[in-house]
A and B are shown apart, each in its own frame.
Chain A
C-alpha cells in the first residue's frame, strides 16, 4: 500500500538522529442536517495531524494526514471512487465504507543558493481570484460536497516538483506534476452527485479513459511574478489535462456507451492586484487553447465540440468599515468558437459577493457569501459563523443554500440546503 510507504517515510524522518520534529494537529467533529429532505446526512470525526522536521542543510520536511470516520455515508456511499479520478499514489486508504486515511501533504523543501525547491505532495495556488477557477487550476478539487467548503479544503494536493528562481525583479516558478489525479466527482446516488453523472437507462457507462503515465501525461507550467509600480503582477502558463473529462458517446450494434475522456489544453493568463485607499482591486484572465463541451443532454449525447475559452475575473474589496470586508467579483467565460448544440451558453457570467466581519476582538467571525449565475439565475447562499471559544477550541456553524433553476450548475442542488455544526480542537 502506498499510504503505508508514506507512513514509513514519516517514521524514518522522525527517527532521524539529531533532528527535532514538531507535531501539531486538529480534531474536528461535524454534524450536518439536510433542511428540505430532513436527512441527517453527515456525522464526521476527522483528525489531521501534521509534522515538520528540520533536515540537514537547511532543508525542511512537512507531512500532513487525515483520519476520517463518517457515520452516515451519504457523500461517498459505499467504497470511494478514487480509482476513477486519482493516480495510484494519491488514493486514500479505506478501512471500511465509513473510515479512511489520507496523506494530505508530504514534501521536502529548501534553498539551493537563491533557488527554492519543493518536492513532494503539495498544493499550488495561482491567481488573484478568490474561490473561482481561472488560473487556480494547477491542483484539481474534490466535489464530494459540491463547492460548499472553501476551495482550499476541496483542493487535492498533487505529487509535484516546484522550483522558484529569481530572475532580475521577477520570480519564476517552474512546476512539473507527474500526478495524474483529476477533479473527483461524487458517485451516482451521492447527496451531491451531478445530474450529468446519473447514468441514463439503457446506456452503458464505461470506465474513464484517464491518463496514467507519470512522465508522458505529466502537467507542466511556469508562473512569473513581480511587483511593478505598486501592482502585483503574474504571468502564467500551464500545459495540462482538463481536470473534468468530456463525455464521449459511441453506438455499436444499437448499444450506446458513454465514456469520460480527458484532453490536454494550454492555459495562458495573468493576474493583477493593487490597493487604493480602502479599495483593493484584483483582476485575472486566462485563455485555454481548447476546451471540450458535450453536445445535447445526457440522454442524447451526440458527441462534443471544441472551442478555446477566455475567462476573466474582476474583483473589488472594500475595507473602509472597521473590521469588515466587503468583496465582490465578476466572472465571465466566453467561447470564441461556439457551436450550436453545446450544453452551455457562449458566454457565462457569475458574480460573487462576500461580507465578512471580525467581531468581538476577533474572537468571532461572521461571513455571508453569495455566488450567483447571471445566466440561469441560480447560485449558492452561505452563512458561516466561527467562535474561537478558547485558544484551541473553535465552534462553527454553517448554512448552505443552493437555489435556482434546476438546469444550472448550482440550481441542480436547490433541494440540498443544509445546516452544519462543528467543534474543532487544535493541538
Chain B
C-alpha cells in the first residue's frame, strides 16, 4: 500500500517536473541566444552618466570607451572626460571566457599618477557612483550564464514589444553575495535577443533596482542600447546612461587596451 502511494505520487509529479525542466532548458537557450548576439568585433562610443540622488541633485559625468574582442577574450577601456576633476580616470578590463579565470583589471587615477592593479572580485560593487555594477558595465546587456539557474515565467510586453520573462536565480549563496542579487527577472525581446527591462532583488529578498533599456536601435547593423535608465529602489538614486557617437566600423587599435594607453589617457 505504502509502495503504491509512492508510485502514484511520482506519476503525478513527473509531468510537472518534466515541464519545469523544459521551461528551464528553453530559458537557458534564450539566454544563450542573448549572449551569442552580435555586438561587433570592436566598438567606440561616448557615454554620458546622469546621476541623480534622492534630493533630485544631478551630477553629469562623461566618458569615452572602447571594446574589442581578442578571440574569445573581451577587452574594455573607459576614460572619463568630464568633469575636469575626474578627467583622465581610466578603467581597463581584460575579460576571459573561462569562468574560473579571474578577469584582470587596472585603474588609473590622475591623483596617483600611476596605473594601479585592482581586484576583479568586486563585480557586485557599483561602478564609480552609478547604479550599475562592474559586472553589468562589463557584460553590456549579456549575462554570465553559469552564475544563474534560469526559468521561464511567461510572456509580456515592454515598450510595445513582445518579451519573454525569465527568472534568474544565482546558483549558490556565494555567487549571490558576489553579484549582490538573490533574484532577477529579465524581460527579453527574442526578436533582438536583448533585455528591454529587468528587475533585481537583493540578497535579503528585497526589491533592489530596475534597469530599463529606454532606447534600442540598429547602428551599423547591430542592435544597440543608446539609453539606459536605472532606479535603485533602496536609495532612490537614479542613473541615466546615454550613448553617442557609436562606431562599430572603425577598427580600434590593439594598443588602446594596454596599461600604457590607460596612463596616457585619451589621445
Interface residues of A (CB under 8 A from B): 24-26, 50, 60, 109-110, 114, 116, 118, 123, 125, 127-128, 130, 136, 150-153, 155, 164, 166, 171, 173, 225, 227, 230, 232, 273-275, 277-280, 282, 317, 319-320, 322-323, 358, 360-363, 388, 390-392, 394, 424, 426-427
Contacts and interface: CB of A to CB of B under 8 A. Distances in A.
A275 B112 contact: no
Nearest to A322: B125
Contact of B235 (A125, A136, A361): A361
Interface stretch (B27-35, B55-63, B155-163, B206-214): B55-63
B122 A319 contact: yes
Interface in B82-129: 82-85, 87, 102, 104-106, 110-114, 116-122, 124-126, 128-129
Nearest to B106: A232
B237 to A, nearest CB: 5
Contacts of A125: 113-114
Interface residues of B, number: 41
A358 B129 contact: yes
A contacts with B: majority SS = strand
A362 B114 CA distance: 21
Nearest to A136: B114
A277 B84 contact: no
Interface string B39-63: 0000000000001010001111100
B119 A279 contact: yes
Given A26-B84, A171-B258, A424-B85, 11 more contacts: A125-B114, A127-B114, A130-B116, A164-B260, A171-B260, A225-B259, A280-B116, A317-B119, A361-B126, A361-B235, A392-B84
Contacts of B114: 125, 127-128, 130, 136
For the complex of A and B, 3 pairs with smallest distance between CB atoms:
A362-B129, A426-B84, A152-B113
Given A26-B84, A232-B259, A361-B51, A273 B129 contact: no
Nearest to B124: A322
Contacts of A277: 102, 119, 121
A363 B59 contact: yes
Given A361-B126, A361-B129, A155 B113 contact: yes
B111 to A, nearest CB: 6
Contacts of B124: 322
Contacts of B111: 150, 152-153
Given A130-B112, A130-B114, A390-B57, A275 B105 contact: yes
B117 A275 contact: yes
Given A114-B255, A152-B110, A426-B84, A278 B121 contact: yes
